[in-house]
């Protein structure tokens, strides 16, 4: 159960509500998420051309590409727990610095994959994406936690939506970087952007709420296992994960494997997964910017997320079953589905708001990365079902499970709009 009382110094609490929507914490969190998304989606965008350059056949590109994606997602899953615990034990800023150094180095290393001779290049590629995944896991959760704690509750939804809305355009920049240069240079640019962002982070101050809790030595902080020691807390945690499942079904299955869906639908033009992902993220960015205002309008996180999730479901059904016959329409549907899953920032904010200050970073960091990690069983299930159900129906089965869990979770989780976050979670 949550304990609504925590001894806070008035000066620190006042400080934590003085930050504006365009203060340094919001700007730096938004730019950090921009670089995070650039690097997170980059492999999906360069998957086909980079694996072609490594000499893989078309059927190998699908299977090896899915395997490398799973390595990256496995890194995100592990990194989510690692950085979440560090965020609650050592502070939100420690994660923002450590995570970006890790994934920037890994992305630069990916740019050299064609030159690797001491081991199988595809294994090296997978290993570097795994390390990048560990680093990428810390960015969003720590940023959303920090912004949630330094902004007053009246501005939280809009502030976190700005972080995600601006950050998600990193996918667009990644796509055009690949087009303007090549996939190797795109990895180098991603690493360089990360190191450049480190300079901006020097002036960001720690959350006042975290400082107050860190002064209380008797308080247990960053205990990941505490999510599993209380039935109510575990229920909230699992429902937070469930809310995010449709987002990565759309990104990880429908957009990432859009070339396969395009063939199955009989589209003559070859579908470019990188372009599908880019349009999906354009929609996602717009949806994320809108979600904060929708939430404020409804005075409800739950209603805003349920509405956007329904939009994603409708356009997902159109994508799969209404006989799309042109690349333009398919990319347009990726844009529309992206808008529907544009509740990503709201989903992470809900995760942060569900739990006390002493485990908030652990929650906000592990929850989105648990969702990303669940792309592994999604892709495995999709690949396993294709031979018996065909591509379209295999995708639909994975989508059905994702949306059922998503709607159940958002409709049954406690509302957090306007909730005071200055409290502790009992061990």
What's the Cα-to-Cα distance from 329 to each of 270, 312, 326, 390, rounded to whole Å?
13, 16, 5, 22
- Supply the pLDDT for residue 106: 93
**Mean pLDDT comparison of 3-7, 10-14, 375-379, highest-scoring range:** 375-379
Write out the two tokens for 353: 């708001």
Q: Which residue has the tokens 């987002």?
A: 247
- Supply the pLDDT for residue 218: 54
Of residues 223 and 268, the one with the higher pLDDT is 268
Q: How far apart are the first and last CA of the chain?
A: 8
Of residues 115 and 208, the one with the higher pLDDT is 115
Poorest-pLDDT segment among 304-308, 321-325, 420-424: 420-424
> Residue range 321-345: average pLDDT?
92
Poorest-pLDDT segment among 185-189, 209-213, 387-391: 209-213
- Supply the pLDDT for residue 381: 93
Q: What is the mean pLDDT of the chain?
A: 83
What's the Cα-to-Cα distance from 224 to each of 91, 246, 356, 366, 367, rounded to whole Å?
15, 24, 13, 9, 11
In b/e form, how buried is each residue of 239-254, taking b as 16+ CB within 10 angstroms? bbbbbbbbbbbbbbbb
Q: Cα torsion at 347, 348, 351, 356 (round to 10°)?
A: -150
> Residue range 269-297: average pLDDT?
88
Of residues 232 and 357, the one with the higher pLDDT is 232
In percent, how much of the chain has pLDDT > 70?
A: 87
pLDDT exceeds cutoff 50 at 193: yes
pLDDT exceeds cutoff 70 at 162: yes
Q: How far is CA 396 from the centre of its chain?
A: 22
**Number of continuous H segments (helices) and E segments (strands) in the chain:** 19, 2
> Residue range 202-216: average pLDDT?
54
Angle between helices 273-298 and 156-167 (to 10 degrees): 170
Which residues fall within 8 angstroms of residue 169, CB to CB, at 6 or more apart? 34, 37, 281, 282, 285
pLDDT exceeds cutoff 50 at 15: no
pLDDT exceeds cutoff 50 at 346: yes
- Supply the pLDDT for residue 9: 42
Q: Tell me: the pLDDT tens digits for 43-78?
A: 888 888 889 988 888 878 888 888 888 899 889 888
* C-beta separation of 423 from 4 below 8 A: yes
- pLDDT bracket for residue 8 (50, 70, 90): very low
Q: What share of the chain is helix, strand, coil (3-state, %, to 5)?
A: 75, 0, 20
pTM: 0.77
- Ordered alpha helix ranges (H), 269-343: 273-298, 301-321, 327-340
Q: How far is CA 215 from the centre of its chain?
A: 31
In b/e form, how buried is each residue of 288-300, taking b as 16+ CB within 10 angstroms? bbbbbebbbeeeb
Q: Which helix (H) or strand (E) holds 3?
A: strand 2-3
- pLDDT bracket for residue 337 (50, 70, 90): very high
Poorest-pLDDT segment among 11-15, 108-112, 131-135: 11-15
Domains of the chain: 10-411 (1.20.1250.20)
Of residues 15 and 203, the one with the higher pLDDT is 203
The length of the chain, given as a count of residues? 427
> Residue range 237-242: average pLDDT?
95
- Supply the pLDDT for residue 283: 93
- pLDDT bracket for residue 13 (50, 70, 90): very low
Poorest-pLDDT segment among 44-58, 153-167, 236-250, 313-327: 153-167
pLDDT exceeds cutoff 60 at 206: no
Poorest-pLDDT segment among 62-66, 117-121, 298-302: 62-66
- Supply the pLDDT for residue 196: 85
pLDDT exceeds cutoff 60 at 226: yes
> How far, in Å, CA of 372 to CA of 363, rounded?
14
- Supply the pLDDT for residue 21: 65
Of residues 390 and 24, the one with the higher pLDDT is 390
> Residue range 361-371: average pLDDT?
85
* C-beta separation of 139 from 29 below 8 A: no
- pLDDT bracket for residue 221 (50, 70, 90): low
**Residue 224: how many other CB atoms lie within 10 Å:** 17
Write out the two tokens for 163: 């972080």
What's the Cα-to-Cα distance from 165 to each of 210, 261, 298, rounded to whole Å?
26, 28, 19
């Amino acid at each position: 159960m949550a304990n609504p009382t925590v001894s806070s110094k008035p000066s620190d609490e006042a400080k934590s509500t003085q930050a504006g929507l365009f203060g340094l914490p919001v700007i730096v969190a938004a730019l950090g998420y921009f670089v995070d998304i650039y690097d997170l989606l980059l492999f999906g965008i360069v998957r086909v051309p980079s694996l072609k350059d490594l000499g893989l056949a078309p059927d190998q590109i699908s299977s090896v590409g899915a395997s490398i994606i799973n390595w990256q997602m496995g890194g995100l899953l592990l990194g989510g727990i690692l950085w979440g615990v560090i965020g609650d034990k050592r502070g939100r800023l420690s994660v923002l610095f450590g995570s970006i150094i890790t994934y920037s180095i890994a992305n630069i290393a990916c740019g050299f994959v064609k030159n690797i001779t001491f081991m199988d290049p595809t294994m090296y590629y997978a290993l570097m994406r795994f390390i990048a995944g560990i680093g990428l896991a810390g960015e969003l959760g720590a940023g959303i936690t920090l912004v949630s704690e330094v902004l007053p509750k009246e501005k939280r939804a809009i502030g976190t939506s700005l972080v995600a809305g601006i950050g998600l355009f990193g996918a667009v920049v990644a796509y055009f970087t690949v087009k303007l240069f090549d996939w190797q240079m795109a990895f180098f640019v991603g690493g360089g952007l990360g190191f450049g962002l480190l300079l901006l982070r020097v002036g960001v101050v720690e959350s006042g709420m975290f400082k107050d809790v860190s002064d209380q030595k008797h308080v247990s902080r960053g205990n990941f296992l505490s999510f599993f020691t209380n039935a109510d807390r575990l229920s909230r945690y699992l429902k937070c994960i469930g809310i995010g499942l449709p987002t990565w079904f759309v990104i990880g299955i429908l957009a990432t494997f859009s070339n396969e869906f395009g063939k199955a639908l009989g589209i003559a033009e070859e579908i470019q997964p990188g372009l599908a992902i880019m349009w999906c993220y354009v929609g996602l960015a717009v949806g994320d910017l809108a979600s904060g205002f929708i939430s404020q309008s409804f005075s409800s996180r739950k209603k805003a997320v349920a509405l956007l999730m329904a939009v994603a479901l409708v356009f997902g059904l159109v994508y799969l079953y209404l006989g799309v016959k042109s690349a333009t329409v398919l990319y347009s549907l990726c844009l529309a589905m992206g808008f529907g899953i544009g509740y990503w920032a709201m989903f992470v904010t809900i995760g942060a708001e569900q739990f006390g200050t002493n485990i908030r970073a652990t929650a906000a960091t592990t929850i989105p990365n648990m969702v990303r990690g669940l792309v592994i069983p999604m892709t495995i299930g999709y690949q396993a079902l294709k031979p018996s159900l065909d591509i379209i129906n295999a995708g639909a089965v994975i989508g059905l499970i994702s949306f059922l869990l998503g709607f159940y979770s958002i409709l049954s989780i406690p509302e957090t709009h306007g909730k005071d976050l200055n409290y502790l979670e009992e061990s």
